[in-house]
């Protein structure tokens, strides 16, 4: 029944677009924006949409990795015994969570990329690297000419996602019964050993579904960096749409590509959750 309703809604939308807007659907141009033939090698290589897809993937991976480290640290700070660390962790969470992500993006872009990294002349140094190093840099991060912008975007997303991950970690740690910590203490375990061997393993099973949702949100939130001209999927789609005027085809394709990334993340975390429970 649900599938029939979804299909009916899709047919209605397509009909309204075709009749009301008199929009002529044309999907034939899309393959040329997914891949192209390299004139030097004659091999098929990614074009704008696939390049944007991979940029979004790299950006999301770094944002999730760095955000997880920040979130774990802030979550531990908030549940620790030190008043200073508790205040520090709470200040970070409240500051970031109550700041619009778009403002955060611009602040870090103009401060980190335009000031700190520019003063260190990192881009100039990277442009002088050999072809092997440039390929490795492009694979893991971004081309040397865009490295600073990529780093500022990844750091900003990591800070933003880390604040939410910190709350998930804090709630997970506090959900572990106090008796578990007391039992670990009676066995002579130190505070760090209690956290590593008793508290975090139990909290991890509790927080994994919430973390999966936050990781998926990180992939979707990466679209916001298009405002600082990071050539990720949304930015590339806007560029193609401006030149082809194929609005619906482009956005539907981008929607499918984002769904592939988020659904793959869902499957990975579901498999990990099942393995931990088994």
pTM of the model: 0.86
105 pLDDT tier (thresholds 50, 70, 90): confident
Q: What CATH code would you report for 58-221? A: 1.10.3720.10
pLDDT of 25 higher than 70: yes
Q: What is the mean pLDDT of residues 54-59?
A: 93
Tokens of 221: 């939130």
44: β partners: 37
Q: How remote is the C-alpha of 65 from its chain's centroid? A: 9
Question: Of 66, 90, 71, 69, which Cα lies nearest the Cα of 153?
Answer: 66
Q: What is the mean pLDDT of residues 101-112?
A: 82
123 pLDDT tier (thresholds 50, 70, 90): low
- The pLDDT of residue 17 is 67
- The pLDDT of residue 278 is 63
Q: What is the mean pLDDT of residues 201-218?
A: 87
Tokens of 15: 């009909």
Asked if 225 contacts 232 with a C-beta cutoff of 8 angstroms, the reply is yes
Q: Can you tell me the distance from the alpha carbon of 36 to that of 145, in angstroms, rounded to the nearest whole number?
A: 22
- The pLDDT of residue 130 is 72
Domain boundaries, the chain: 58-221
Q: What is the mean pLDDT of residues 137-165?
A: 86
Q: What is the DSSP string of 107-168?
A: HHIIIIIIIIIHHHTHHHHHHTS-HHHHHHHHHHT--GGGHHHHHHHHHHHHHHHHHHHHHH
90 pLDDT tier (thresholds 50, 70, 90): very high
């Amino acid at each position: 029944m649900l599938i029939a309703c979804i299909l009916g809604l899709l047919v209605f939308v397509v009909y309204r677009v075709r009749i009301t807007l008199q929009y002529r659907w044309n999907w034939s141009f899309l393959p040329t924006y997914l891949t192209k033939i390299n004139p030097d090698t004659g091999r098929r290589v990614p074009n704008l949409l696939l390049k944007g897809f991979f940029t979004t993937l790299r950006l999301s991976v770094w944002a999730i990795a760095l955000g997880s480290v920040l979130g774990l640290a802030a979550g531990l700070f908030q549940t620790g015994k030190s008043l200073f660390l508790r205040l520090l962790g709470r200040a970070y969470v409240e500051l970031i969570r109550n700041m619009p992500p778009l403002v955060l993006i611009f602040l870090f872009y103009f401060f980190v990329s335009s000031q700190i990294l520019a003063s260190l002349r990192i881009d100039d140094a990277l442009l002088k690297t050999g072809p092997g190093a440039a390929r490795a840099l492009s694979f893991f991060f971004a081309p040397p000419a865009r490295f600073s912008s990529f780093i500022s975007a990844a750091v900003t997303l990591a800070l933003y996602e880390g604040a939410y991950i910190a709350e998930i970690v804090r709630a997970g740690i506090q959900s572990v019964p106090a008796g578990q910590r007391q039992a670990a203490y009676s066995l002579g375990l130190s505070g760090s050993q209690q956290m590593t061997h008793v508290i975090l393993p139990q909290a991890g099973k509790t927080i994994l579904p919430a973390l999966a949702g936050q990781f998926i949100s990180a992939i979707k939130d990466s679209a916001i960096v298009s405002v600082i001209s990071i050539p990720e999927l949304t930015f590339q789609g806007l560029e193609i749409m401006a030149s082809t005027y194929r609005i619906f085809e482009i956005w539907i394709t981008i929607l499918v590509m984002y769904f592939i990334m988020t659904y793959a993340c869902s499957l990975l975390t579901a498999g990990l959750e099942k393995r931990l429970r088994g």
